[in-house]
Amino acid sequence: MSDRRPTTPTRVIPAGETLPAPGTPPPPPPPLPPLPPAPADPGPESYWWRDLPRPAVPAQPIPVDVHVTVTLDAGPPEPPPAPPWWRRVRWGYHAVMCAAAVPLSGPWAWVLAHVRTDTSLAGAWVMAAIPLATVAWWDNAARIQARHSDPDLWGPKVRARVARLALYATAEATALTLPLYSLVTILTGVRP
Protein backbone atom coordinates (compact mmCIF):
# COMPACT_ATOMS: atom_id res chain seq x y z
CA MET A 1 0.00 0.00 0.00
CA SER A 2 1.73 3.12 -1.21
CA ASP A 3 -0.88 5.69 -0.10
CA ARG A 4 0.09 6.88 3.39
CA ARG A 5 -2.59 9.54 3.89
CA PRO A 6 -4.68 9.18 7.05
CA THR A 7 -8.23 7.90 6.74
CA THR A 8 -10.85 10.58 7.24
CA PRO A 9 -14.17 9.42 8.72
CA THR A 10 -17.37 10.16 6.78
CA ARG A 11 -19.50 10.33 9.86
CA VAL A 12 -18.82 10.48 13.62
CA ILE A 13 -21.31 8.80 15.99
CA PRO A 14 -21.19 10.30 19.49
CA ALA A 15 -20.70 8.01 22.46
CA GLY A 16 -23.84 6.62 24.03
CA GLU A 17 -25.96 6.67 20.84
CA THR A 18 -27.07 3.43 19.28
CA LEU A 19 -25.49 2.47 16.04
CA PRO A 20 -27.66 2.60 12.98
CA ALA A 21 -29.33 -0.62 11.96
CA PRO A 22 -27.61 -2.47 9.16
CA GLY A 23 -29.15 -2.55 5.75
CA THR A 24 -31.46 -5.31 4.61
CA PRO A 25 -29.96 -8.76 4.74
CA PRO A 26 -28.88 -10.26 1.43
CA PRO A 27 -31.34 -12.59 -0.25
CA PRO A 28 -30.94 -16.29 0.52
CA PRO A 29 -29.11 -18.33 -2.09
CA PRO A 30 -31.25 -20.12 -4.66
CA PRO A 31 -32.20 -23.69 -3.70
CA LEU A 32 -30.18 -26.49 -5.23
CA PRO A 33 -31.96 -28.65 -7.80
CA PRO A 34 -33.16 -31.98 -6.42
CA LEU A 35 -30.99 -35.03 -7.02
CA PRO A 36 -32.29 -37.51 -9.56
CA PRO A 37 -33.75 -40.66 -8.01
CA ALA A 38 -31.45 -43.65 -7.88
CA PRO A 39 -32.46 -46.52 -10.16
CA ALA A 40 -33.97 -49.36 -8.24
CA ASP A 41 -32.27 -52.73 -8.40
CA PRO A 42 -34.79 -55.16 -9.85
CA GLY A 43 -33.38 -58.00 -7.75
CA PRO A 44 -31.73 -61.23 -8.78
CA GLU A 45 -35.03 -63.04 -9.41
CA SER A 46 -35.97 -60.79 -12.30
CA TYR A 47 -32.79 -61.40 -14.36
CA TRP A 48 -34.01 -64.55 -16.03
CA TRP A 49 -37.04 -63.00 -17.78
CA ARG A 50 -35.58 -59.59 -18.50
CA ASP A 51 -32.52 -58.75 -20.44
CA LEU A 52 -31.14 -56.38 -17.83
CA PRO A 53 -27.40 -55.83 -17.49
CA ARG A 54 -26.01 -57.40 -14.40
CA PRO A 55 -24.19 -55.12 -12.01
CA ALA A 56 -20.47 -55.07 -12.61
CA VAL A 57 -18.48 -57.14 -10.13
CA PRO A 58 -15.30 -55.37 -9.14
CA ALA A 59 -12.26 -57.22 -10.38
CA GLN A 60 -10.00 -58.79 -7.84
CA PRO A 61 -6.74 -56.86 -7.44
CA ILE A 62 -3.81 -58.46 -9.17
CA PRO A 63 -0.81 -58.87 -6.87
CA VAL A 64 2.12 -56.85 -8.07
CA ASP A 65 5.70 -57.76 -7.23
CA VAL A 66 7.85 -54.68 -6.83
CA HIS A 67 11.60 -55.17 -6.83
CA VAL A 68 13.73 -52.21 -5.75
CA THR A 69 17.47 -52.19 -6.29
CA VAL A 70 19.43 -49.59 -4.33
CA THR A 71 23.01 -48.86 -5.31
CA LEU A 72 25.02 -46.78 -2.90
CA ASP A 73 28.09 -45.08 -4.26
CA ALA A 74 30.56 -45.14 -1.39
CA GLY A 75 33.08 -42.95 -3.16
CA PRO A 76 36.76 -43.66 -3.16
CA PRO A 77 37.94 -46.42 -0.84
CA GLU A 78 39.25 -45.32 2.50
CA PRO A 79 43.00 -45.44 2.91
CA PRO A 80 44.34 -48.19 5.12
CA PRO A 81 44.81 -47.19 8.75
CA ALA A 82 48.18 -45.84 9.75
CA PRO A 83 50.43 -48.23 11.65
CA PRO A 84 50.57 -47.78 15.43
CA TRP A 85 52.97 -45.25 16.86
CA TRP A 86 55.47 -47.83 18.09
CA ARG A 87 55.99 -48.99 14.50
CA ARG A 88 56.39 -45.44 13.20
CA VAL A 89 59.01 -44.44 15.80
CA ARG A 90 62.52 -44.54 14.41
CA TRP A 91 64.19 -46.20 17.38
CA GLY A 92 67.69 -46.10 15.93
CA TYR A 93 67.46 -42.40 15.09
CA HIS A 94 66.33 -41.53 18.61
CA ALA A 95 69.02 -43.71 20.21
CA VAL A 96 71.72 -41.94 18.18
CA MET A 97 70.25 -38.54 19.11
CA CYS A 98 70.20 -39.45 22.82
CA ALA A 99 73.83 -40.60 22.67
CA ALA A 100 74.93 -37.48 20.79
CA ALA A 101 73.08 -35.22 23.26
CA VAL A 102 74.89 -36.55 26.37
CA PRO A 103 78.08 -34.46 25.89
CA LEU A 104 76.00 -31.40 24.98
CA SER A 105 73.87 -31.70 28.11
CA GLY A 106 76.87 -31.33 30.46
CA PRO A 107 77.22 -27.49 30.43
CA TRP A 108 73.47 -26.98 30.90
CA ALA A 109 73.40 -29.54 33.73
CA TRP A 110 76.33 -27.72 35.38
CA VAL A 111 74.39 -24.38 35.18
CA LEU A 112 71.27 -25.99 36.66
CA ALA A 113 73.27 -27.60 39.46
CA HIS A 114 74.79 -24.23 40.44
CA VAL A 115 71.38 -22.52 40.38
CA ARG A 116 69.94 -25.36 42.47
CA THR A 117 72.77 -25.17 45.01
CA ASP A 118 73.21 -21.40 45.21
CA THR A 119 69.61 -20.15 44.99
CA SER A 120 66.70 -22.55 45.33
CA LEU A 121 65.29 -25.77 44.00
CA ALA A 122 62.17 -24.00 42.68
CA GLY A 123 64.33 -21.47 40.83
CA ALA A 124 66.27 -24.31 39.21
CA TRP A 125 63.02 -25.98 38.07
CA VAL A 126 61.77 -22.70 36.58
CA MET A 127 65.12 -22.12 34.92
CA ALA A 128 64.99 -25.64 33.46
CA ALA A 129 61.32 -25.57 32.41
CA ILE A 130 61.36 -22.35 30.37
CA PRO A 131 64.21 -23.35 27.98
CA LEU A 132 62.84 -26.89 27.79
CA ALA A 133 59.42 -25.60 26.68
CA THR A 134 61.01 -23.19 24.20
CA VAL A 135 63.21 -25.89 22.66
CA ALA A 136 60.23 -28.30 22.50
CA TRP A 137 58.23 -25.68 20.59
CA TRP A 138 61.17 -25.07 18.23
CA ASP A 139 61.56 -28.84 17.66
CA ASN A 140 57.86 -29.20 16.83
CA ALA A 141 57.94 -26.28 14.38
CA ALA A 142 61.14 -27.54 12.70
CA ARG A 143 59.74 -31.06 12.30
CA ILE A 144 56.54 -29.76 10.72
CA GLN A 145 58.51 -27.51 8.38
CA ALA A 146 60.78 -30.42 7.36
CA ARG A 147 57.82 -32.74 6.79
CA HIS A 148 56.05 -30.32 4.45
CA SER A 149 59.08 -28.97 2.59
CA ASP A 150 60.48 -30.24 -0.70
CA PRO A 151 62.29 -33.56 -0.20
CA ASP A 152 65.34 -32.19 -2.04
CA LEU A 153 65.89 -29.33 0.44
CA TRP A 154 68.48 -30.00 3.12
CA GLY A 155 67.96 -26.88 5.22
CA PRO A 156 64.67 -27.89 6.87
CA LYS A 157 65.98 -31.41 7.58
CA VAL A 158 69.18 -30.09 9.19
CA ARG A 159 67.19 -27.58 11.30
CA ALA A 160 64.86 -30.38 12.45
CA ARG A 161 67.79 -32.57 13.50
CA VAL A 162 69.54 -29.70 15.33
CA ALA A 163 66.28 -28.85 17.13
CA ARG A 164 65.79 -32.50 18.12
CA LEU A 165 69.40 -32.69 19.37
CA ALA A 166 68.91 -29.51 21.44
CA LEU A 167 65.66 -30.92 22.86
CA TYR A 168 67.37 -34.16 23.93
CA ALA A 169 70.31 -32.25 25.43
CA THR A 170 68.01 -29.94 27.43
CA ALA A 171 65.83 -32.84 28.62
CA GLU A 172 68.83 -34.95 29.62
CA ALA A 173 70.42 -32.07 31.54
CA THR A 174 67.17 -31.49 33.42
CA ALA A 175 66.69 -35.20 34.09
CA LEU A 176 70.26 -35.68 35.34
CA THR A 177 70.27 -32.62 37.60
CA LEU A 178 66.88 -32.02 39.18
CA PRO A 179 64.57 -35.04 39.67
CA LEU A 180 66.81 -37.15 41.93
CA TYR A 181 67.86 -34.11 43.95
CA SER A 182 64.22 -33.02 44.27
CA LEU A 183 63.15 -36.51 45.37
CA VAL A 184 65.82 -36.68 48.09
CA THR A 185 64.95 -33.18 49.30
CA ILE A 186 61.22 -33.91 49.41
CA LEU A 187 61.58 -37.27 51.18
CA THR A 188 64.21 -36.30 53.74
CA GLY A 189 63.76 -32.57 54.04
CA VAL A 190 67.55 -32.20 53.96
CA ARG A 191 69.45 -30.61 51.13
CA PRO A 192 72.34 -32.95 50.14
Residue 191 pLDDT class (50, 70, 90 cuts):
low
Q: Are 120 and 178 in contact (CB under 8 A)?
A: no
pLDDT of residue 142: 96
CA distance 186 to 25: 105
The crossing angle, in degrees rounded to 10, of helices 155-177 and 121-148 is 160
The full set of domain ranges for the chain reads 108-188
Longest Cα separation, the chain: 134
CA distance 163 to 135: 7
Tell me which range, 84-93, 113-122, 127-136, is most confidently predicted by mean pLDDT: 127-136
- Give Cα 64 distance to the centre of its chain: 45
Residue 144 pLDDT class (50, 70, 90 cuts):
very high
38 or 114, higher pLDDT: 114
pLDDT of residue 44: 57
Q: Decide: residue 119, CB within 10 A, 0-12 exposed, 13-18 middle, 19+ buried.
A: exposed
pLDDT tens by residue, 8-55: 777 777 887 777 776 777 788 888 888 777 666 655 555 555 565 666
Q: Give just the sign of the alpha carbon dihedral 40, 42, 47, 49.
A: negative
CA distance 34 to 29: 15
Least confident of 29-43, 94-108, 112-126, 142-156: 29-43
Residue 96 pLDDT class (50, 70, 90 cuts):
very high
